[in-house]
Chains A and B, each alone.
Chain A
Amino acid sequence: MSILNEKEAQAILKKVLGYSKADECQAVLSGAREGNVRFARSTVSTSGGFDSTTLVVQSSFGKKTSTATINEFDDASLEKVVRRSEDLAKLAPDNPEYVEFLGAQKYEQPKSWFESTAKLDPVARAKAAGASILPCREKKLVAAGFLEDRAGFTAIANSRGLQGFHRSTTANFSVTVRTADDKGSGYGVADVNDFAQLDTARISQVAIDKALRSVETKALEPGKYTVILEPAASVDLLSILVSSMNARQADEGRSFLSKAGGATRVGEKLMDERVHIYSDHLDPRVPAAPWAQDGRPRRKVDWIKGGVVTNVAYSRFWGRKKNIENEGHAPLGGGFGGGGGGGAGRAVAAFEGTPGFIMAGGTDSLETLVKGVKRGILVTRMWYIRPVDPQTLLFTGLTRDGTFYVEDGKIQYAIKNFRFNESPVIMLNNIEALGKPERANGSMVPPLVIRDFTFSSLSDAV
Chain B
Amino acid sequence: MDLSRRRFLQTSTLAAGSLFIPVWGRSLASAAEATVIPAALKKKLADAALNAATKKKATYVDVRIGRYLNQFLITRENRVENMVNTESYGAGIRVIADGCWGFMSTDGLTPESIAKAAEAAVAIAKANAKLQDEPVKLAPQKGVGEVSWKTPIVRNAFDVPIKDKIDLLMEVNAAAMKNGASFINSFLFQVNEQKYFASTDGSYIDQDIHRLWPNFFVTGVDPKSGKFQTRAALSTPVGMGWEYLMPKAEDKRGGLVTRYTKSYDMIEDATAAAKQVKEKMEAKSVEAGQYDLVLDPSHMWLTIHESVGHPLELDRVLGYEANFAGTSFATVDKMKSGTFKYGSPEVTLFADKTQVGSLGAVGYDDEGVPCKRWNLVKDGILVDYQKTRDQAHIVGQTASDGCSYADNWSSVQFQRMPNVSLAPGKKPLTVEEMIQGVEKGIYIVGSGSFSIDQQRYNFQFGGQLFYEIKDGKITGMLRDVAYQSNTQEFWNSCVAICDERDYALGGSFFDGKGQPGQVSAVSHGSATTRFNKVNVINTARKLG
Instruction: Chain A residues near B18: list those with CB within 8 A.
Output: none
CB-based contact A97/B79 at 8 Å: yes
Residues of B near any A CB (own CB < 8 A): 25-26, 28, 31, 68, 70, 72, 74, 78-90, 100-108, 117, 120-121, 123-124, 127-128, 130-134, 161-163, 166, 170, 182-183, 189, 191, 211, 219, 221-228, 230, 318-324, 326-327, 329, 407-412, 414, 449-458, 460, 462, 480, 482, 484, 486, 509-510, 515-516, 518-519, 521, 535, 537, 539-544
Which of B28, B85, B163, B219 is close to A67, meaning CB atoms less than 8 Å apart?
B85
Q: List 17 A-B contacts (CB under 8 A).
A: A43-B132, A48-B105, A50-B410, A52-B105, A52-B410, A53-B107, A91-B161, A92-B166, A146-B515, A252-B182, A343-B211, A348-B70, A396-B482, A457-B460, A460-B455, A461-B326, A461-B453
User: Would you call the interface of chain A mostly helix, strand, loop, or mixed?
Assistant: mixed
Cα distance A268–B543 when bound, in Å?
12
Q: Is A68 an interface residue, CB under 8 A from the partner?
A: yes
Instruction: Chain A residues near B482: list those with CB within 8 A.
Output: 388, 396
Q: Is A297 an interface residue, CB under 8 A from the partner?
A: no
Instruction: Chain B residues near A125: list those with CB within 8 A.
Output: 127
CB-based contact A122/B127 at 8 Å: yes
Instruction: Chain A residues near B134: list those with CB within 8 A.
Output: 41, 43
* Per-residue interface assignment for chain A, residues 426 to 462, with 1 indicating a CB less than 8 Å from any chain B CB and 0 otherwise: 1000000000000000000000000000001111111
Q: Is A386 an interface residue, CB under 8 A from the partner?
A: yes
CB-based contact A459/B408 at 8 Å: no
Cα distance A176–B516 when bound, in Å?
16
Residue of A nearest to B488 (CB): A460
CB-based contact A51/B128 at 8 Å: no
Q: Is A394 an interface residue, CB under 8 A from the partner?
A: yes
Shortest distance from the beta carbon of B338 to any chain A beta carbon, whole Å: 21
Instruction: Given A252-B221, A419-B484, verify A461-B87 contact (CB < 8 Å).
Output: no
Cα distance A182–B330 when bound, in Å?
13
Cα distance A439–B458 when bound, in Å?
30
| Most chain A beta-carbon contacts within 10 A, residue among B101, B222, B410, B537 | B410
CB-based contact B68/A345 at 8 Å: yes
Instruction: Given A97-B79, A457-B484, verify A344-B410 contact (CB < 8 Å).
Output: no
Instruction: Given A44-B100, A126-B128, verify A93-B228 contact (CB < 8 Å).
Output: no
Instruction: Chain B residues near A265: list those with CB within 8 A.
Output: 544
Instruction: Chain A residues near B227: list those with CB within 8 A.
Output: 391
Cα distance A281–B225 when bound, in Å?
38
CB-based contact A398/B519 at 8 Å: no
Which of A45, A145, A421, A462 is close to B539, meaning CB atoms less than 8 Å apart?
A421
Instruction: Chain B residues near A27: list those with CB within 8 A.
Output: none
Number of interface residues of A (CB under 8 A): 117
Cα distance A185–B452 when bound, in Å?
17
Instruction: Given A44-B132, A391-B227, verify A348-B541 contact (CB < 8 Å).
Output: no
Cα distance A123–B130 when bound, in Å?
10
CB-based contact B82/A71 at 8 Å: no
A348-B70, A388-B482 known; 4 new pairs, CB 8 Å cut-off, are: A50-B105, A66-B82, A400-B326, A460-B457
Residue of A nearest to B191 (CB): A343
Which of B26, B121, B127, B320 is close to A45, meaning CB atoms less than 8 Å apart?
B320
| Most chain B beta-carbon contacts within 10 A, residue among A176, A253, A394 | A253
Cα distance A96–B133 when bound, in Å?
61
| Most chain B beta-carbon contacts within 10 A, residue among A1, A345, A386, A396 | A345
Instruction: Chain A residues near B535: list those with CB within 8 A.
Output: 457
Q: Is A80 an interface residue, CB under 8 A from the partner?
A: yes
Cα distance A125–B123 when bound, in Å?
12
CB-based contact B323/A144 at 8 Å: yes
Instruction: Given A68-B87, A92-B162, verify A176-B323 contact (CB < 8 Å).
Output: yes
Which of A49, A71, A342, A401 is close to B120, meaning CB atoms less than 8 Å apart?
A49
| Most chain B beta-carbon contacts within 10 A, residue among A259, A344, A390 | A344
Shortest distance from the beta carbon of B404 to any chain A beta carbon, whole Å: 12
Q: Is A199 an interface residue, CB under 8 A from the partner?
A: no
Which of A80, A254, A342, A347 is close to B219, meaning CB atoms less than 8 Å apart?
A254
Cα distance A260–B87 when bound, in Å?
45
CB-based contact A42/B133 at 8 Å: yes
CB-based contact B412/A46 at 8 Å: yes
CB-based contact A348/B80 at 8 Å: no
CB-based contact B131/A129 at 8 Å: yes
CB-based contact A144/B105 at 8 Å: no
Instruction: Chain A residues near B89: list those with CB within 8 A.
Output: 71-72
Which of B86, B230, B516, B540 is close to A348, meaning CB atoms less than 8 Å apart?
B86
Which of B103, B323, B462, B521 is close to A145, meaning CB atoms less than 8 Å apart?
B323
